[in-house]
Homo-oligomer: A and B are copies of this chain.
């Protein structure tokens, strides 16, 4: 591993490019200790942005390319034609061992396809899993998968549990993360064959986390466990339902506070408190989702993230790179596959019970 930490940055991805990326590095650096950045993108634009922030300029190597993956490019197209783009080169630097992690705010599908092509998968997944960092009453719960793997059998769900626990351990510092499996009830007979199969596998093995059984939708916001595991279809619907509800609720609060004679005074006074609350719950403070299951660290930042948001994604990449995240995942995946090899009936039947 190179020393110091080297992070590879797609400086052209997202809505803002270098004007957000470079100021974000200034923020992120404070949390990262000894670090260098490889900036992939248009040299002229990058030099201009770096000219305004000399403190960070000395930590950056600019790798010029004028090729950029479009925000609406199809993943297949990005894989075939993306070579030499800022996103491709950012991931390529990780593959080449020049950097320990890559960060991009570009097209999610394209980044996933390129990462999978260049770095390969470590788990037996079709695609990397996406993690949502969900603010809860107790902290942050990692929910996965939130959209990449639409159909998941029992083994895939167990892989999510393994990866999610290693992620939570690395990023949120939980010593022995608690893990729950999302279902429609907590009794063992609830749900479909895949969640029941995953529940059996999780109970039957000894992993480096504390499996707590089934949890329900309302356990997400409660923060009942550190990691919540679900298939990408259900996870995506849950996440977007919550996003929609949060927006709805904010509008309702604003509306409620602007009605009535004395309301404007109340609203004025309440405003600051509510603003603080919004900031705490703002996705940009928990921005940045890693792609889990790759042989290498790639973090996706929200396309519309501001400097604070992108900095959070960069910091996340650094935290993962500085942890024993990859080794922990390998160790637990081995426990799963060793057990499967030892008892072929145990795991083999899961495949045939998929409904």
A residues lining the B interface (CB < 8 Å): 136-137, 147, 150-151, 182, 184, 191-192, 216-222, 230, 232-234, 236-249, 251-253, 255-257, 259-260, 262-263, 265-270, 272-274, 276-277, 280-281, 354-355
Residue with the greatest number of chain B CB neighbours at <10 A, chosen from A182, A220, A241, A267: A241
Note all chain B residues with C-beta closer than 8 A to A192. 150-151, 233
Interface pair B217/A241, CB less than 8 Å apart: yes
Interface pair A252/B281, CB less than 8 Å apart: yes
Beta-carbon nearest neighbor of A230 in chain B: B237
Q: How far is the CA of A219 from the CA of B216 in the complex (A)?
A: 21
Which listed residue, B136, B150, B245, touches A184 by the CB 8 Å rule? Answer: B150
Top 7 nearest A-B pairs by Cβ distance? A217-B240, A266-B269, A218-B244, A217-B241, A221-B244, A221-B248, A256-B273
Note all chain B residues with C-beta closer than 8 A to A147. 184
Interface pair A260/B272, CB less than 8 Å apart: yes
Interface pair B137/A251, CB less than 8 Å apart: yes
Interface pair B216/A240, CB less than 8 Å apart: yes
If A218-B241, A244-B220, A277-B255 touch, does A191 touch B233 (CB 8 Å cutoff)? yes
Interface pair A241/B244, CB less than 8 Å apart: no
Note all chain B residues with C-beta closer than 8 A to A234. 233-234, 237
Beta-carbon nearest neighbor of A193 in chain B: B151
Interface pair A256/B274, CB less than 8 Å apart: yes
Interface pair B256/A270, CB less than 8 Å apart: yes
Which listed residue, B217, B247, B262, B270, touches A237 by the CB 8 Å rule? Answer: B217
Q: How far is the CA of A279 from the CA of B252 in the complex (A)?
A: 12
Note all chain B residues with C-beta closer than 8 A to A137. 248, 251
Interface pair A263/B252, CB less than 8 Å apart: no
Note all chain B residues with C-beta closer than 8 A to A230. 237
Q: How far is the CA of A220 from the CA of B184 in the complex (A)?
A: 19
Told that A260-B272, A266-B270 touch, could you supply 16 new A-B pairs with CB distance under 8 A?
A150-B184, A216-B237, A218-B240, A220-B245, A221-B241, A230-B237, A233-B234, A234-B234, A237-B237, A253-B253, A259-B273, A260-B273, A262-B269, A267-B270, A269-B269, A354-B355
A198 CB to closest chain B CB, in angstroms?
A: 14
Interface pair B248/A236, CB less than 8 Å apart: no
Q: How far is the CA of A277 from the CA of B248 in the complex (A)?
A: 12
Q: How far is the CA of A180 from the CA of B287 in the complex (A)?
A: 30
Which listed residue, B191, B266, B354, touches A273 by the CB 8 Å rule? Answer: B266
Note all chain B residues with C-beta closer than 8 A to A274. 253, 256-257
Note all chain B residues with C-beta closer than 8 A to A233. 184, 191-192, 234
If A184-B150, A222-B248 touch, does A241 touch B242 (CB 8 Å cutoff)? yes
A182 CB to closest chain B CB, in angstroms?
A: 6
Which listed residue, B249, B270, B354, B355, touches A270 by the CB 8 Å rule? Answer: B270
Q: How far is the CA of A274 from the CA of B147 in the complex (A)?
A: 34
A294 CB to closest chain B CB, in angstroms?
A: 21
A111 CB to closest chain B CB, in angstroms?
A: 16
Interface pair B221/A245, CB less than 8 Å apart: yes
If A237-B237, A269-B266, A270-B257 touch, does A218 touch B191 (CB 8 Å cutoff)? no
25 example contacts (A-B, Cβ-Cβ < 8 A) are as follows A184-B233, A191-B233, A217-B236, A217-B237, A217-B238, A217-B240, A218-B240, A219-B244, A220-B241, A221-B245, A222-B248, A238-B238, A241-B242, A242-B245, A246-B249, A253-B253, A255-B277, A256-B273, A256-B274, A256-B276, A256-B277, A259-B276, A265-B269, A266-B266, A269-B269
